[in-house]
């Protein structure tokens, strides 16, 4: 049995034309070789698996090729190319800076640079993961990198350009490798599948390309894994099963339920997703991406951003035609808020279900307010039709008209019958959503500015709450504790919902003012009152202030004993001001 070679190594490009997704960089390097405008130091930057080291090796091989082709490619037939392909070339040296990052390693490399190549024109030094070099190693490398011998070319590769010191960057010709596009990765996977005799569905290869995040090496690693799992037939179902990916069909079903305003179908689909072992956060993120794809599918100019493959693209375009752009904007807003709140939510399933309820009401509820669904369940009685007010921030159900009352025969007062409650189809949902008439009445009174009744404060309970707050801060704020226990709050006679606190100094007044909010909240919670106010008054009684500074102490002593001043003069003493 032959040894297995992973696809990333087996199908590694050996010429510039085999490089996938980096056309601009490949053309620049080929033109530099053709015009003999090669820099002596290159820096290849980009994320993992996009071809940095591969391009460095191809460049090193091509510039030493003895028989370049017309399109500036290595011939793969000369001795230089063969030695490179066999891994025995003395003109190419690779250094892994992740493991060889000391000053001594760089000094050993610099010693090798002095020697000219025995065969060929250039000696190429490829330093991979160059950002891992220590600062002292970078500094030791500076002079050689700036003025290398004519036969030496340095190619540095890194995934983190920002970690390289500016003096190194200024000495290199920088090439930024981009993420490889999904269609390019899928096309390359299809080529490899054909070469290996594997039957692969385009949707399956597209999923692998999408999950690789623009890295060809990652895509090839997943491809090998899927082949080990599925054998010679690579299908979409097997790929999403092995990679634990939520099927696109679920999102199409949910969005169709949203379009039909069918709350219950959407909730059942979500329950099925959870039953299959998928996380609610994964679902809400995927639904957000689905809405985004519907939005870009609305316009032919942006439909190219889908990158989902021909048949799937058409499915998105078809479903997007049933939605309006404002509807998709509102849906994305709801999903975005749910995504942000998911990790902090105690009941995460309920959070997603509430989002689905809001989404299923998008067709009739402006500003994502939740109203009665369009698709009603069958009920025995008549169903009230919801009416949305154009400018109201909350939606209220208008109370039905009171029934007519027959005139009494005698002069006795007749109480009108209670108005019947409106009949809604989705009773369980609307009980939670709609405001009750009593709540509406309270809201109207509050909007009309009707003053609330003031509750008198019980003085004994007030003093007890005051002392309890003082005890609660004793360990943290001992000075403020001393102020509180020496102060007694008194309920004001002219305003029973307020109390007065008399303090000895402005300092004490400022200290209590700083804690006023916390103190009042504590007292209102303890006394169970909605309103309480505190008035802080500085006592008018003159209190003797203790001397603190040296001047004040001297003045206090002199006021008690005038002879102290004579003693100071006789002894020639002076007070340090």
Per-residue pLDDT at 391? 39
Would you state the structure tokens that stand for residue 396, as one six-digit string? 């209220």
Q: How confident is the model at residue 488 (pLDDT cuts 50, 70, 90)?
A: confident
Going by the DSSP 8-state scheme, the letter that residue 279 receives in this structure is -
Q: How many CB atoms lie within 10 A of CB 5?
A: 11
Rounded Cα gap, residues 124 and 108, in angstroms = 15
Highest mean pLDDT: which range of 130-144, 310-324, 411-425: 130-144
Contact 40, 172 (CB under 8 A): no
Contact 481, 470 (CB under 8 A): yes
Name the more confident of 413 and 7: 7
Q: How confident is the model at residue 545 (pLDDT cuts 50, 70, 90)?
A: low
* Sign of the dihedral defined by the CA atoms of residues 70, 76, 79, 80, in that order: positive
Q: How confident is the model at residue 541 (pLDDT cuts 50, 70, 90)?
A: low
What's the average model confidence in pLDDT over 533-546?
69
Q: CA angle, 106 as apex, 100 and 107 as ends, to 5°?
A: 135
Name the more confident of 392 and 170: 170
Per-residue pLDDT at 380? 41
Rounded to the nearest 10 degrees, how much is the dihedral formed by the CA atoms of 562, 566, 572, 577? Answer: 20
Q: How confident is the model at residue 353 (pLDDT cuts 50, 70, 90)?
A: very high
Rounded Cα gap, residues 542 and 303, in angstroms = 82
What's the average model confidence in pLDDT over 347-362?
90
Per-residue pLDDT at 457? 79
Written as one string, the DSSP assignment of 391-434 is S-SS--PPPPPPPP-PPPSSS---PPPPPPPPP-SSHHHHHHHS
- pLDDT > 90: percent of the chain: 14
Name the more confident of 303 and 337: 337
Which of these ranges, 178-182, 239-243, 309-313, 530-534, has the smallest mean pLDDT?
309-313
Q: Cα–chain-centroid distance for residue 33?
A: 44
Per-residue pLDDT at 509? 82
Query: Would you call 153 helix, strand, or coil by DSSP?
Result: strand
Question: Which domains are assigned to the chain?
Answer: 7-176 (3.40.50.300), 182-242 (1.10.8.60), 248-368 (1.20.272.10), 459-538 (3.30.300), 545-577 (no CATH)
Rounded Cα gap, residues 375 and 367, in angstroms = 20
Q: How confident is the model at residue 339 (pLDDT cuts 50, 70, 90)?
A: very high
Query: Would you call 538 helix, strand, or coil by DSSP?
Result: strand
User: Mapped to the 3 state alphabet, what secondary structure does 296-323 carry?
Assistant: HHCCCCCHHHCCCCHHHHHHHHHHHCCC
Rounded Cα gap, residues 425 and 444, in angstroms = 27
- Residue-wise pLDDT for 372-384, tens only, equals 444 444 444 444 4
Per-residue pLDDT at 155? 92
Contact 278, 246 (CB under 8 A): yes
Q: Cα–chain-centroid distance for residue 157?
A: 30
Q: How many CB atoms lie within 10 A of CB 362?
A: 22
Would you state the structure tokens that stand for residue 28, as one six-digit string? 């620049």
Per-residue pLDDT at 444? 47
Contact 112, 79 (CB under 8 A): no
- The dihedral region occupied by 485, where left means phi > 0, alpha psi between -120 and 50, and beta the remainder, is alpha
Name the more confident of 563 and 196: 196
The backbone torsions φ and ψ at residue 525, rounded to the nearest 5 degrees and listed phi first, read -70, -40
Rounded Cα gap, residues 424 and 380, in angstroms = 11
Residue 400 has pLDDT above 60, yes or no: no
Written as one string, the DSSP assignment of 211-243 is HTTT-HHHHHHHHHHHHHHHTTEE-HHHHHHHT
Contacts of 80 (CB under 8 A, 6+ apart): 61, 64, 65, 66, 89, 91, 119, 120
Q: What is the mean pLDDT of the chain?
A: 79
- Residue-wise pLDDT for 48-106, tens only, equals 889 899 999 999 999 888 888 888 888 888 888 888 888 888 888 888 888 888 888 88
pTM of the entire predicted model: 0.57
Q: How confident is the model at residue 544 (pLDDT cuts 50, 70, 90)?
A: low
Question: Across the strands, what pairs with 157?
Answer: 44
Residue 1 has pLDDT above 60, yes or no: no
Helix then strand then coil, in percent of the chain rounded to 5, is: 50, 10, 40
What's the average model confidence in pLDDT over 337-360?
91
Rounded to the nearest 10 degrees, how much is the dihedral formed by the CA atoms of 521, 523, 525, 531? Answer: -70
What's the average model confidence in pLDDT over 283-311?
84
What's the average model confidence in pLDDT over 305-333?
83
Name the more confident of 432 and 21: 21
Written as one string, the DSSP assignment of 250-289 is HHHHHHHHHHTT-HHHHHHHHHHHHHTT--HHHHHHHHHH
């Amino acid at each position: 049995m032959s040894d297995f070679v992973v696809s990333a190594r087996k199908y590694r490009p050996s010429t510039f034309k085999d490089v996938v997704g980096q056309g601009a960089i490949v053309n620049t390097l080929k033109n530099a070789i053709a015009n003999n405008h090669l820099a002596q130091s290159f820096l290849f930057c980009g994320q993992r698996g996009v071809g940095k080291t591969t391009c460095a090796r191809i460049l090193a091989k091509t510039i030493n090729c003895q028989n370049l082709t017309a399109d500036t490619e290595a011939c793969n037939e000369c001795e230089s190319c063969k030695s490179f392909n066999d891994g025995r070339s003395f003109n190419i040296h690779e250094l892994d800076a992740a493991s060889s990052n000391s000053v001594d390693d760089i000094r050993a490399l610099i010693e090798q640079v002095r020697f000219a190549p025995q065969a060929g024109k250039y000696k190429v030094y490829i330093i991979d993961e160059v950002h891992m070099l220590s600062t002292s190693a970078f500094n030791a490398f500076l002079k050689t990198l700036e003025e290398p011998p004519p036969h030496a070319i340095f190619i540095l590769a890194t995934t983190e350009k920002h970690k390289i010191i500016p003096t190194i960057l200024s000495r290199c010709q920088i090439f930024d490798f981009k993420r490889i596009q999904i269609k390019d990765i899928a096309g390359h996977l299809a080529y490899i599948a054909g070469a290996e005799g594997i039957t692969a569905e385009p949707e399956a290869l597209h999923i692998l390309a999408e999950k690789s995040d623009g890295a060809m090496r990652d895509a090839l690693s997943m491809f090998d894994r899927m082949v080990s799992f599925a054998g010679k037939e690579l299908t979409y179902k097997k790929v999403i099963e092995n990679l634990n990916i939520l099927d696109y069909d679920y999102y199409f079903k949910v969005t169709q339920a949203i379009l039909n305003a069918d709350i219950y179908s959407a909730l059942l689909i979500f329950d099925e997703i959870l039953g299959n072992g998928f996380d609610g956060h994964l679902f809400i993120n995927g639904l957000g991406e689905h809405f985004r794809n519907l939005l870009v599918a609305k316009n032919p100019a942006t439909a190219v951003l889908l990158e989902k493959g021909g048949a799937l693209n058409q499915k998105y375009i078809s479903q997007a035609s049933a939605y309006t752009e404002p509807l998709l904007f509102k849906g994305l807003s709801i999903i975005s808020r749910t995504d942000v709140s998911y990790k902090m939510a105690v009941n995460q399933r309920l959070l997603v279900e509430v989002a689905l309820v809001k989404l299923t009401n998008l067709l009739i509820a402006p500003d994502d307010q939740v109203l009665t669904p369009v698709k009603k369940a069958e009920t025995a009685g008549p169903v009230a039709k919801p009416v949305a007010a154009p400018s109201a921030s909350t939606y209220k159900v208008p109370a039905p008209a009171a029934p007519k009352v027959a005139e009494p025969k005698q002069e006795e007062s007749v109480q009108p019958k209670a108005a019947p409650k409106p009949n809604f189809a989705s009773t369980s949902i609307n009980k939670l959503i709609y405001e009750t008439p009593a709540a509406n009445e309270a809201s109207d009174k509050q909007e009309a500015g009707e003053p609330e009744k003031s509750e008198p404060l019980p003085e004994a309970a007030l003093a007890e709450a005051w002392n309890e707050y003082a005890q609660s801060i004793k360990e943290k704020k001992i000075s403020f504790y001393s102020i509180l226990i020496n102060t007694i709050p008194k309920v004001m006679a002219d305003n029973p919902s307020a109390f007065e606190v008399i303090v000895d100094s402005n300092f004490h007044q400022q200290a209590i003012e700083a804690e006023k909010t916390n103190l009042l909240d504590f007292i209102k919670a303890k006394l169970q009152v909605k309103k309480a106010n505190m008035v802080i008054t500085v006592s008018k009684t003159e209190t003797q202030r203790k001397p603190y500074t040296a001047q004040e102490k001297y003045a206090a002593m002199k006021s008690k004993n005038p002879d102290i001043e004579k003693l100071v003069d006789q002894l020639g003493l002076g007070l340090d001001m």
